[in-house]
């Protein structure tokens, strides 16, 4: 089942200015339910830009983007907000956490806007996810006091909390040491397999990637090719 | 929506120090505007009753010779029966009544205060007071026939009665030919008070009363200097106070805006994380509005306390200004949310 498709996607930063930069050129991409997909490329090749567009964080692009067969441009801002809440769970390289809030306050954010989980179910859902990620004991700590590994687990918990269909992982382990990175990646992948999630992993390092991915796109010079 | 409001309260609690600084600034703006509005409304009110064409004087004593006091009173007395108005604080009655007592001579009030029968008497006085003094008044020996009026004091012409305190005893004299009996003439302080407070209207001037009044003081121990106090005050407010106040208010509003933008910048990363997680712009608006609405509500409460909880022009002016501030802040939020790109914020560029 096709979840999303991007056709002839192009992205230009600082359009019509002297510093105009073309990052993506006519890239096409299809994501089916259950796919485990890697997008690799050198630093600055446009991987994060691509992920931002796919995750509905960037609306300024050329090309066609459809989600479950419906054009994204036809959605209004409220519908896009619902899609971001229900469909995508995004894990960023630098965690993107609210620094002066506790781990609990960070993890609960998607549930504030969720239609899947009612108010009274929130606590159980958080308990369920944090137990799986083994971060129950740090829930009340401010995230600024947490280690890199703990912060990344909090970010993953937030991405998973609303049970999204697609997990978008933007170099989720690049800030962590090798052992920790492997452990976290293994966890996400096994969680994805167990819960039938669709995963898109963006990375510049394809060396230490487990062999569970069924598709591999490569981004170079703004072009996307299926390897 | 409940969650958005709850998050708004959390933001407020997290930024409580900034909230108090905001509140102090906003209250300062409001208090300044209130003071200036009071002054302006008072001045405009004064102008609306045609003070500009009235004659008033500043009295300058030029001699210690008080022997001509009685003569002066006897000359001023018939003149004030024909027109003009004035008042003085009576030392004798103040000591007798135990309350500051003011005697008013204003022929223009006669129709309002007296019946035809009373008007036909050559000399008559009526006492009006906001205090309950019936028992005290009975025991006092007044210089002339006196009755105690029940007329509502608020009906009196505001030009004179607004300048008195609520608990002052106000005695209005009707057509007395014995003004000297009501005054202490040895030291001249009451005649000084009477002349200092005198006012003539434009029609009094046309009737020659002003010239006649000024002529009385040609060889007197008191010299009259025409007072342009009202115009000077308005000119001073408009030329000096207003620009200064406008500058201070503008500076405070700019400071408030800068502080608000810095608060938005601080909160924007969190807002962005919420937007990524599925928040709508409406939810972010609702959340942000909690801070602004509480800020403005507290300010309005402070203003109401200072204004004695009266729904008057001042309250209206402040409400409109606070409403404008509210919409300005909401507009700023709209600009910030619409203009910025979520993905760029996440990279830490902003």
Distance, in Å, from the CA atom of A84 to the CA atom of A80, rounded to the nearest integer, reads 6
Average pLDDT over all residues of chain A = 89
| B275 CB within 8 Å of a chain A CB | yes
List the structure tokens of B133: 């003094």
- Residue range B230-236: average pLDDT? 68
The confidence band for B52, taking pLDDT boundaries of 50, 70 and 90, is: very low
Of A57, A101, A112, the CB nearest to B342: A57
Helices (H) and strands (E) in chain B, counts: 17, 8
* A209 exposure class (CB count in 10 Å sphere: 0-12, 13-18, 19+): middle
- Of B3, B269, B341, which is closest to A112 when you measure between CB atoms? B3
Per-residue model confidence (pLDDT) at position A146: 93
CA dist B140 and B34 (Å) reads 43
Residue A15 is predicted with a pLDDT of 83
Distance CA B146, CA B142 (A): 7
**Residue numbers in B near A167 (CB within 8 A):** none
Taking CA–CA distances from B344, the nearest residue in chain A reads A58
Q: Does pLDDT of B141 surpass 70?
A: yes
Residue range B124-133: mean pLDDT, rounded:
67
pLDDT band at B336 (very low <50, low <70, confident <90, very high): confident
Domains located in chain A, CATH noted: 35-59+77-226 (3.40.50.300)
Q: Which of residues 39-68 of A touch B (CB under 8 A)?
A: 48-49, 52, 55, 57-58, 60
Among A193-197, B115-119, B155-159, the minimum mean pLDDT is found in B155-159
Q: How many CB pairs under 8 A join A and B?
A: 67
Whether residue A102 lies within 8 A of chain B, CB to CB, comes out as no
**CB proximity B67 to A under 8 Å:** no
Chain B touched by A90 (CB under 8 Å)? yes
What are the chain B neighbours of A52 within 8 Å (beta carbons)? 342-343, 346
pLDDT digits (tens, 9 = 90+) for A62-109: 999 999 999 999 999 899 999 999 999 999 888 889 998 999 999 999
Per-residue pLDDT of A107-163, as tens digits, reads 999 999 999 999 889 999 999 999 988 899 999 999 999 988 899 899 999 999 999
Contact yes or no for B278 and A158 at CB 8 A: no
Measured distance CA(B106)–CA(B170) in Å, rounded: 12
Q: Where residue B51 falls among pLDDT bands split at 50, 70, 90?
A: very low
Q: Give residue limits of the domains in chain B.
A: 2-47+232-346, 63-220
Per-residue pLDDT tens digits for B281-309 = 889 999 999 999 999 999 999 999 988 88
- This complex has an ipTM of 0.92
Judge whether residue B195 has pLDDT over 90: no
Q: Is A163 on the interface with B (CB under 8 A)?
A: no
Tell me the two tokens of residue A125. 């859902």
Separation in Å, CA B330 to CA A168, B222, B281, B287: 33, 63, 12, 11
- Confidence band of B349 (pLDDT split at 50, 70, 90): very low
- Give the per-residue pLDDT at B103: 85
Residues of B in contact with A77 (CB under 8 A): 280-281
Strand duo A2-13 + A21-32: pairing: antiparallel
B343 pLDDT above the threshold of 70: no
């Amino acid at each position: 089942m096709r979840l999303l498709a991007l056709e002839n996607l192009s992205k230009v930063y600082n359009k019509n200015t002297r510093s105009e930069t073309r990052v993506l050129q006519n890239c096409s991409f299809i994501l089916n339910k259950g796919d485990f997909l890697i997008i690799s490329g050198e630093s600055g090749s446009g991987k994060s830009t691509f992920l931002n567009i796919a995750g509905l964080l960037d609306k300024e692009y050329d090309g066609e983007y459809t989600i479950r067969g419906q054009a994204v441009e036809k959605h209004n801002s409220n519908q896009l907000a619902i899609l971001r809440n229900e469909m995508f769970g995004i894990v960023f390289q630098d965690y993107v956490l609210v620094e002066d809030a506790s781990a609990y306050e960070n993890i609960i954010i998607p549930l504030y806007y969720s239609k899947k989980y009612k108010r009274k179910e929130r606590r159980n859902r958080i308990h369920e996810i944090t137990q799986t990620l083994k971060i129950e004991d740090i829930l009340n700590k401010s995230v600024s006091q947490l280690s890199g590994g703990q912060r990344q687990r909090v970010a993953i918990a937030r991405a998973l909390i609303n049970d999204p269909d697609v997990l978008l992982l933007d170099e989720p382990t690049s800030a962590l040491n090798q052992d920790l990175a492997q452990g976290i990646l293994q966890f996400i992948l096994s969680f994805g397999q167990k819960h039938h999630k669709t995963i898109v992993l963006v990375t510049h390092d394809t060396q230490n990637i487990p062999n569970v991915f069924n598709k591999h796109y490569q981004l170079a010079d703004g072009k996307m090719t299926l390897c | 929506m409940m969650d958005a409001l709850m998050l708004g309260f959390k933001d407020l609690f997290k930024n409580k120090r900034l909230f108090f600084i905001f509140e102090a600034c906003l209250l300062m703006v409001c208090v300044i505007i209130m003071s200036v509005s009071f002054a302006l409304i008072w001045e405009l009110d004064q102008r609306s009753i045609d003070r500009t064409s009235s004659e008033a004087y500043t009295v300058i004593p030029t001699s210690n010779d008080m022997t001509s006091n009685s003569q002066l009173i006897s000359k001023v007395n018939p003149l004030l029966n024909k027109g003009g108005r004035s008042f003085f604080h009576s030392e004798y009655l103040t000591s007798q009544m135990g309350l500051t007592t003011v005697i008013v001579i204003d022929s223009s009030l006669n129709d309002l205060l007296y019946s035809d029968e009373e008007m036909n008497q050559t000399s008559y006085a009526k006492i009006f007071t906001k205090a309950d003094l019936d028992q005290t008044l009975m025991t006092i020996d007044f210089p002339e026939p006196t009755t105690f009026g029940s007329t509502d004091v608020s009906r009196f012409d505001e030009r004179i009665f607004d300048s008195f305190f609520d608990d002052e005893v106000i005695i209005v004299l009707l057509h007395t030919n014995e003004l000297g009996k009501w005054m202490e003439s040895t030291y001249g302080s009451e005649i000084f008070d009477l002349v200092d407070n005198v006012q003539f209207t434009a029609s009094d001037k046309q009737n020659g009363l002003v010239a006649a009044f000024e002529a009385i003081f040609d060889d007197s121990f008191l010299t009259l200097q025409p007072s342009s106090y009202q115009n000077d005050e308005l000119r001073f407010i408009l030329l000096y106070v207003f620009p200064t106040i406008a500058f201070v208010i503008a500076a405070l509003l700019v400071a408030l805006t800068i502080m608000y933008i810095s608060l938005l910048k601080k909160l924007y990363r969190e807002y962005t994380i919420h937007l990524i997680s599925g928040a709508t712009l409406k939810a972010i608006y609702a959340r942000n509005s909690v801070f602004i609405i509480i800020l403005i509500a507290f300010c309005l409460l402070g203003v109401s306390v200072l204004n004695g909880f009266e729904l008057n022009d001042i309250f209206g002016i402040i409400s409109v200004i606070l409403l404008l501030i509210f919409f300005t802040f909401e507009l700023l939020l709209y600009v910030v949310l619409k203009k910025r790109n979520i993905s760029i914020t996440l990279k830490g560029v902003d």
